[in-house]
Amino acid sequence: MQQKNINKADDFVMKEKNAVAIISGGMDSITLLHYLVKKEKLNVSPITFLYGQKHSKEVSCAKEQALLLGCTNHLVLDLTSFKPLFAKSALISSDLPIPDIQEVMGDPQPATYVPNRNMIFLALAMAYAETCEANNVYYGAQKHDIYGYWDTTPQFLASLNQIYQLNRKSVISIQAPFVNYSKTDVLKLGLELGVDYGQTWSCYRGDDFSCGTCATCAERLKAFANLAITDPLKYAR
């Protein structure tokens, strides 16, 4: 009986160490992966989604970074057949141009919003977590994402976790450890963890160089400027 209890405890500790992390290949999710592996010492199963994005530069970065950190079980899930569901987004539709930062300022749901994407991705990551026997699913939402995306808010996270409490066998939570971090805070942490930001991609446009004018470039550039360092990526302007 005692032996059984010890095994159960070991089992729990093991599950505590297992985690699933959604990584896109951008600054936030790659920093998150480094944080989970290096700082939290977790056994991370990363998951990346191909969902019909205009470019897959980020995905290449995600693969490289996962490999670098020894996450051999990186799952790259092909959801390109979901593209029609997301066709209203400028990240997907070739008919919709990627807006510059000034065009989306103050817009509660800019053209780069992907319909219900985070809910869908998190649901799939939760399924993966059940299979991997992980207790936590991580994603890289940060403080300022909430300006444009309802599915990055603390309220969204809390509501979703409430739903997953209904699971009768697997106790899994969704965690967004950077939800109170600015991009600058994320960058600072990543630099401490030795992240090579030359191996991340943020720009919504998938050109040879980052555009420097879309919302995510503007945010990335500000983070580097705040720390008075140069972004290793090349910019068109």
Partner 1 sequence: MCGIFGIISQKQVDYKQFFELGILNTQRGNLSFGYLTGKMGQDNTLDNVHVFKHIQPFQETRVAQENTNLILAHIRAPTTTQSTQLANVHPFETPDGYLAHNGLLLNHAEYSQWYEGYTVDSQIIIGGIQTHLNQGMEIVNAIQKTAAALEGQQACWYWHKPKQHLYFWRVMSPIYVSDSEETLYFSSIQHELASLLLKEGVIYRYSLSLSCLTEVGAFEFQSPYLYG
Residue among 140, 162, 148 nearest 113 (CA): 148
Residues between 94 and 123 with contacts to partner 1, criterion CB under 8 A: 100-102, 105-109
Tell which one of 68, 115, 123, 150 touches partner 1 (CB under 8 A): 150
- In the bound state with partner 1, the residue whose beta carbon lies nearer, of 154 and 198, is 154
- Alpha-carbon distance 137 to 128, whole Å? 9
Of the candidate residues 38, 54, 115, 147, the single one contacting partner 1 (CB under 8 A): 147
Q: Which is nearer to partner 1, 30 or 211 (CB)?
A: 211
Please say whether the beta carbons of 149 and 118 come within 8 A: yes
Q: How is residue 54 written in tokens?
A: 């205009």
Cα 109 to Cα 149: distance, rounded to the nearest angstrom: 6
Query: 194: alpha, beta or left, given left = phi > 0 and alpha = psi -120 to 50?
Result: left
Read off φ and ψ for residue 45, nearest 5 degrees: -105, 100
Nearer to partner 1, 53 or 184 (CB): 184
- Identify which of residues 5 and 102 has a Cβ nearer to partner 1 in the complex: 102
Asked whether the beta carbons of 163 and 128 are under 8 A apart, the reply is no
Q: How far apart are CA 26 and CA 221, in angstroms?
A: 13
Query: Per residue in 204-217, is it b (16+ CB within 10 Å) or e — as a string?
Result: bbeeeebbbbbbbb
Q: Closer to partner 1 by CB, 82 or 235: give it.
A: 235
Return the residue of 20, 126, 219, 233 that touches partner 1, per CB under 8 A: 219
Site for partner 1 in 163-202 (CB under 8 A): 182-184
**Segment near partner 1 (CB under 8 A), from 9-17, 61-69, 121-129, 148-156?**
148-156
Q: Candidates 11-19, 69-77, 88-96, 143-151 — which segment interacts with partner 1 by CB under 8 A?
A: 143-151
CB 47 within 8 A of CB 77: yes
DSSP category for residue 116:
T
Does position 215 interact with partner 1 (CB under 8 A)? The reply is yes
Q: What is the C-alpha to C-alpha distance for residues 171 and 150, in angstroms, rounded to an integer?
A: 25
Judged by CB under 8 A, the stretch of 41-49, 58-66, 149-157, 189-197 that binds partner 1 is 149-157
Instruction: Please identify, using beta-carbon distances, which residue of 44 and 179 lies nearer to partner 1.
Output: 179
Q: Which residues bind partner 1 (CB under 8 A)?
A: 100-102, 105-109, 143-144, 146-147, 150, 153, 155, 182-184, 213, 215, 218-219, 221-223, 225
